[in-house]
Chains A and B, each alone.
Chain A
Amino acid sequence: MGTTVAPEQILKELSELWVDSGKQGQAEGGTGVLRACSMTLLVMAEASEDTQSLGETIAALMPEHPARAILVRLSGAGDRSLTARVYSQCWMPFGQRRQICCEQVEIAVSDAALADLRSVVLPLTVPDLPMIVWCRSTRLLEMAAFWLIADMARKVVLDSASAPDAAGILQRAREVVERGVMLGDLSWTLMTRWREMLAQVFENQQNAARLSCVSSVGVEWGGSRYIPALYLGAWIRDSLAAVDVNPALHLSRAADEDFLRVRLTGEGIAAVLERQDDRMVVTLNGQSQCTNLPQPTDYLLMREELGIVRHDPVFEKTLASAAQLAHPIDK
């Protein structure tokens, strides 16, 4: 028998944490701390992940999305074991005298104890506010115990690009969405800027008039960009189909790492979008312009996802299409 966790004890520690923070704030001549919370953020990550980096990501999210953050570290095989610790994350907003603090709970759990996790998480969720599960380990999707927890959540966010089997993960994600789960995928979030830029091309009336001439859509990808490429291809095809344009879609693999390029061609139109370092270059009929496109980080992607706590019908439709396009690839 391994170690266990008493949820009541965690709640007591959380309560004491606020009393201590308040006293400390007042002792330092301040006006105490302000407790902020807009959700419960449950982050489930492998223990092998860089703790500091993940901690920094969660901390960076807090000012815009203050949450009770519960970080579950999956220790894999071993005894049935659960341990927990409680701490707070505080910051002083510019120009203010009062610190803002969020609660954080870290729970280490072995695979064998994953089924026990729901009974710990349930009392820890903040009442009347949404719970978002950020699943950073796609192997969890195959574990029934994970879905017991995910069923409590308003939304589950994953990154399908981290899964070893692209076709499998998209199919699984599609099934999850069909069950009514509100799902987010950081590989889709990654495409927001691409979709915006491509849409902007056709905001020009002359270009929009040539939309019906698009006869071919090519998406080239390299490294880990297969799933984003699938999403992009599926989204373009679905969007064009909605206005009765049905070009051929080609997905091809490039040699470069993390490469992504999309090309729409047809009579009188040739539009190419590609990333070059920290910029996106849009070339339309030979004329290029570039715009800022920061390298995606978990923080940037998650910040965007946490802002969408509702069903995203465009994503759900695109996911279904992308799952049909996907086929096994060598990583």
Chain B
Amino acid sequence: MIFGANGDLTKRKLLPALYRLAYDRRLSAGFAVVGISRTPMTDEAFREKMLEAVKEFSEDTTFDADVWKAFAAGLFYVAGDIGDQALYQNLAGRLAEIETLRHTGGNVMFYLSTQPSQYARAAQGLGGAGLGKGSGWRRLVVEKPFGHDLASARELSDRLHESFDESEVYRIDHYLGKETVQNILAFRFGNGIFEPLWNRRYVNHVQITGAESIGVEGRGAYYQEAGALDDMIQNHLLQVMATIAMEPSATFRAPSVRDERSKLLRSIRPMTPDEVRQNTVAGQYGPASIGGKDVPGFRQETGVGPHSQTNTFAAVTLFVDNWRWAGVPFYIRTGKRLAKRVTEIAIQFNPAPLHIFDHDGAGSAPNLLIVRIQPEEGISLKFLSKRPGSGMTLRPVSMDFNYGSSFGERSPSAYETLLLDAIVGDATLYTRQDMVEASWGVVEPIQNVWRESPADFPNYAAGTWGPSASDAMLARHGHVWRKP
């Protein structure tokens, strides 16, 4: 059951992912989708609308009319207001019909693809109508943001727990569904050669970049309330960091893996206000010309106030207080309208202890391991090699593993992976309440300082790698940002 079935996420991601799962015969024959939204619509109209969405937004998937026909027979629609208890009575009746018709065995997954302010109300409505329990399993999938600070995250969890047990709540972070993020675990814990290097003795620092080249693209009003820190770092990038830095789990089962992620997040040192001023940078893009095309600054975007203090760029330096990572800086940056769209993790190793090959530093570039999450998923290892010819001149070279070309087969989208995991009850890649709270524990002190000290925005031009203060932040530790 998808709440917000008329929204963008359903059209662009959820339905194409479900269709692809059907195409790959990953869904059982009686699988059904109930779309819920305020707009009155018949089942048939909903099917037509979803057909258009699947055709438009399915990537790398051939449209198969027969597969669609069978899939569409399981699509239903219920109109109603989330705040209206009558909706849930209606849903209960419709669910009973569908169970009889499709033999779903009473298993129901509720997907909240609505405004975050409606999550608690929807969960409460479902619980009130007795839909939180049934003859089969019940699961509640919630999209980010999970609160806007620690207190609101706790409050949201409390409200969800009134109707659903924590084990039934699946907080989705689509970054964790990406193949390369999962591959980090395979890379680290499936190979014997890397893990011995994965610690403060060999790793100099880690850079995590989540950059977008586009602006807010009409979402100015929403983004103005969130900002880069809350929208990206609090959830996606801290989860990526946790995956990169966590201890090996004893098994690859959800509780073990989530325990280790959570432990890592709790080990991140919370910052004092002084540390926030030294180790974080907020930014907001101004107007610029990119490739000859004039693009507006954030404050000129539709729905954004002319004096907005929203951060469209955030960079932070974090330290992990455990034996493995003590003293190793983790630099995280994210932003809108940066030079290019790229999400990468770069692990920079310590240089060789003695530079015997040259004296001006040209031959002493550090080893880098780069995990590319998007757009081209893969892993690269940068090392030095002798340039052919006379003399001992060293040059950096790169050994690349490209996910797409190495396996020659399509990678499932993050939503395909995560939806299927939720259907089969595997919560490994979902975020648990304690992880959410630990993330807010890291971000909240930063929020507080930024809120108290208005910034002189805009401080970076669109199409660049962010404000110069961000470079200065790394320079204080003797490091420089990579240009991915």
Query: Hey, which bits of chain A sit against chain B, CB under 8 A?
Result: 2-8, 11, 15, 18-19, 22, 32, 35, 37-38, 64, 80-82, 113, 115-116, 119-120, 122-123, 125, 127-130, 307, 309-311
Contacts and interface: CB of A to CB of B under 8 A. Distances in A.
B29 interface: no
Interface string B385-397: 0011100010111
Interface in B392-416: 393, 395-398, 400, 404-405
Main SS of the interface on chain A?
loop
B456 to A, nearest CB: 23
A4 B398 contact: no
Contacts of A3: 292
A119 B291 contact: yes
A151 to B, nearest CB: 12
B400 A35 contact: yes
Max chain B C-beta neighbours (<10 A), residue from A5, A8, A64 = A8
B322 interface: no
Given A7-B213, A127-B482, 19 more contacts: A3-B292, A4-B291, A5-B291, A7-B339, A11-B340, A19-B404, A19-B405, A22-B405, A32-B405, A37-B398, A81-B292, A82-B292, A116-B291, A119-B289, A119-B291, A123-B339, A125-B483, A127-B484, A309-B362
A129 B288 CA distance: 27
Contact of B291 (A6, A38, A125, A307): A6
Max chain A C-beta neighbours (<10 A), residue from B290, B360, B376, B464 = B290
A8 B340 contact: yes
A15 B372 CA distance: 14
A123 B213 contact: yes
B204 to A, nearest CB: 14
Categorize the interface residue count of chain B. Answer: 35 or more
B370 interface: yes
B44 interface: no
21 contacts: A7-B213, A7-B339, A8-B213, A11-B340, A19-B404, A37-B398, A38-B395, A116-B292, A119-B288, A119-B289, A119-B463, A120-B291, A122-B340, A122-B463, A122-B465, A122-B483, A125-B483, A127-B484, A307-B389, A310-B360, A310-B362
Given A8-B340, A19-B404, A307-B387, A128 B396 contact: yes
Nearest to A112: B292
B25 interface: no
Contacts of B292: 2-5, 80-82, 113, 116
Contacts of A81: 292
A15 B387 CA distance: 27
